């Protein structure tokens, strides 16, 4: 039972490069989320999805894009990496229905440095 | 919109002593409340949650939290801590409906000393 899997675990990028952070879950969860965690801070929501084909912005979406073509996968794309995007990125998923709201399950994170 | 305030950034405590980590929240809508724990270089693990019902919730490893609606608080307590409890603890709230994303506090680092 893998849960939420994020790849890569670590990455160093140069300013202006692009990359995709991968996230996949095997729990058939409908909701998926991307958060970033900066030192000494809590997590902040970047983007979220309530199901395949549906995505929306969170509190800090600038510089990022997402897609949700399948229930399992929710990749996060950085188009032009900037030093301000140095952070630890967490993907999470949960099942939420009309009468149900299960807690979010988190991946182990991707530690990204932009130099 | 919601916000979460964790009043202590660090809490040093000796092993086997009691501890309380404080959390206050604000929201204009119904919310669910959570405590997550993060060990070094790991993701977040759910410690306990309040969705409805009894205002006192407990985890399997001895932590408990009490939802106090009038004081908008959800403090985390443990009567006797262990070295292995050393970690970062995050209080979070989510909307009961809608996007249900989590809004986190800034975290409290619990340091248990022998």
Specify the higher pLDDT residue, B53 or B65.
B65
Domains defined along chain B, listed by start = 3-113 (2.60.40.10)
- Residue A1: pLDDT above 70? no
- Residue A101: pLDDT above 80? no
**How far off is chain A from B85, nearest CA to CA, in Å?**
19
Could you tell me the pLDDT band of residue B61, with boundaries at 50, 70 and 90? Answer: confident
pLDDT of residue A99: 64
**How far off is chain B from A110, nearest CA to CA, in Å?**
10
pLDDT of residue A96: 80
pLDDT of residue B84: 94
Could you tell me the pLDDT band of residue A3, with boundaries at 50, 70 and 90? Answer: very high
Nearest to A107 among B32, B43, B99 (CB): B43
- Residue B110: pLDDT above 80? yes
Beta strands A64-66; B87-95: pairing state = unpaired
Backbone angles phi, psi at B95, to 5 degrees: -65, 145
CA nearest B32 in A: which residue?
A101
Closest to A115 (Cα-Cα) out of A19, A15, A36, A10: A15
Beta strands in A1-115 (DSSP E): 4-7, 10-13, 19-25, 31-37, 43-51, 54-57, 64-66, 76-78, 87-94, 96-97, 100-101, 105-106, 110-114
Tell me: domain A4-114, CATH 2.60.40.10, correct?
A: yes
The stretch B17-37 carries a mean pLDDT of: 93
Could you tell me the pLDDT band of residue A52, with boundaries at 50, 70 and 90? Answer: very high
pLDDT of residue A14: 96
Q: What is the pLDDT of residues B92-109, one digit of tens each?
A: 998 877 778 889 999 999
CA nearest A47 in B: which residue?
B101
Q: In chain A, where are the structural domains located?
A: 4-114
């Amino acid at each position: 039972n893998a849960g939420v899997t994020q790849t890569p675990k670590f990455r160093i990028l140069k300013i202006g490069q692009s990359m995709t952070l991968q996230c996949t879950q095997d729990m058939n969860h409908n909701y998926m989320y991307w958060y970033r965690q900066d030192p000494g801070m809590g997590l902040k929501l970047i983007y979220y999805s309530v199901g395949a084909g549906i995505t929306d912005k969170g509190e800090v979406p600038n510089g990022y894009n997402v897609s949700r073509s399948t229930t399992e996968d929710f990749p996060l794309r950085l188009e032009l990496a900037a030093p301000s995007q140095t952070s630890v990125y967490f993907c999470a998923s949960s099942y939420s229905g009309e009468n149900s709201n299960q807690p979010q399950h988190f991946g182990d994170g991707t530690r990204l440095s932009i130099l | 919109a919601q916000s979460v305030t964790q009043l202590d950034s660090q809490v040093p405590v000796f092993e086997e002593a009691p501890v309380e980590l404080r959390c206050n929240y604000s929201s204009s809508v119904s919310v669910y409340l959570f405590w997550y724990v993060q060990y070094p270089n790991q993701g977040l693990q759910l410690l306990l949650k309040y969705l409805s019902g009894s205002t006192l919730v407990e985890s399997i490893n001895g932590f408990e939290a009490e939802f106090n609606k009038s004081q908008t608080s959800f403090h985390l307590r443990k009567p006797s801590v262990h070295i292995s409890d050393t970690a970062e603890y995050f209080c979070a709230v989510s909307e009961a409906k809608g996007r249900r994303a989590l809004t986190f506090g800034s975290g409290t680092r619990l340091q248990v000393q022998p």
